[in-house]
Amino acid sequence: MYCPECGNDAGEAKFCPECGANLAGVHDALRGESTGRDAAASAGPAEDVKAAAPRRGLSPAVIWGGFAVVAVVVIVIVVMVSGGFGGSGSGGDETAAAGGSSAAPVGVTTGTYEELVAKANELYDKGDAAFQSQDFNGGGQYMQAAAMTYAAAWQKKASDPGVGTDFATSLFYSGNIDAALSQIEDVIKKFPDYQAAFFNLGNYLSHKARIAEQEGDKKTAKADTVAAKDAYTKAVAIDPESEVGKQADASLQQLQ
């Protein structure tokens, strides 16, 4: 198991031997006891829960492992800050997702909207499969590549809230919660009645609150928890009888 603070392989230790971080919460998450992603997704790969938007999802048990891929997180941040997400790039039609390695998955930044979405979905599903097999490094790289490809599609035509939400979720599983929050808020601004966007906003915020709690930042944890409750409440209000509405309500009850 990798430490979410420094990325060190801590094995089964309760405290990281490298930085001393308390890993009790990480062990709980890997046993499936964390909150965050929708409960239905924990039963299997993303394709098993297509009835619940967004159309792609992962088990909450993989979140901490995905965050351990520190190099991928750094790359995401650098690309976002430099404005490179979705850029056409000068080196060709594809951009390396991590480290420039020929073995790394690549994110496509040129093509038609339909081609970009299809490629992003393919990369996301491969990331899902990697996470499910406990390959956190590979999963993080695929999610980074998927995020870059979704970004190119979203910039070309921000007309499908499902694609926008999948983009946000790929950012989340790349380890960049702030970028995921920014993207899902953009979806909500454009599609204020899209239930899955509010549900995922609640997921991202509740996980962010858990991280703050484990870091001892109770003020931030409380604020993020309140915001997560508000997002879940809005999701339920849109349609309490839908599958997403029921999942949002269950997540809300866990936070009460």
Q: Pick the residue with more confidence: 70 or 25?
A: 25
pLDDT digits (tens, 9 = 90+) for 170-199: 999 999 999 999 999 999 999 999 999 999
- Inter-residue contact 85 to 148 (CB < 8 Å): yes
pLDDT at 224 over 90: yes
21-32 burial string, b = 16+ CB within 10 Å, else e? bebebbeebbee
pLDDT band at 12 (very low <50, low <70, confident <90, very high): low
Q: Pick the residue with more confidence: 53 or 226?
A: 226
Q: Which of 69-78, 122-131, 167-176, 194-203 has the lowest mean pLDDT?
A: 69-78
pLDDT at site 129? 94
Tokens of 11: 């094995």
Q: Which amino acid is at 171?
A: L
pLDDT at site 64? 39
Domains of the chain: 34-255 (1.25.40.10)
Q: Which of 5-19, 89-103, 141-155, 238-252 has the lowest mean pLDDT?
A: 89-103
Q: Pick the residue with more confidence: 43 or 75?
A: 75
Whether the upstream peptide bond of residue 60 has omega within 30° of 0, thus cis, is: no
pLDDT at site 93? 40
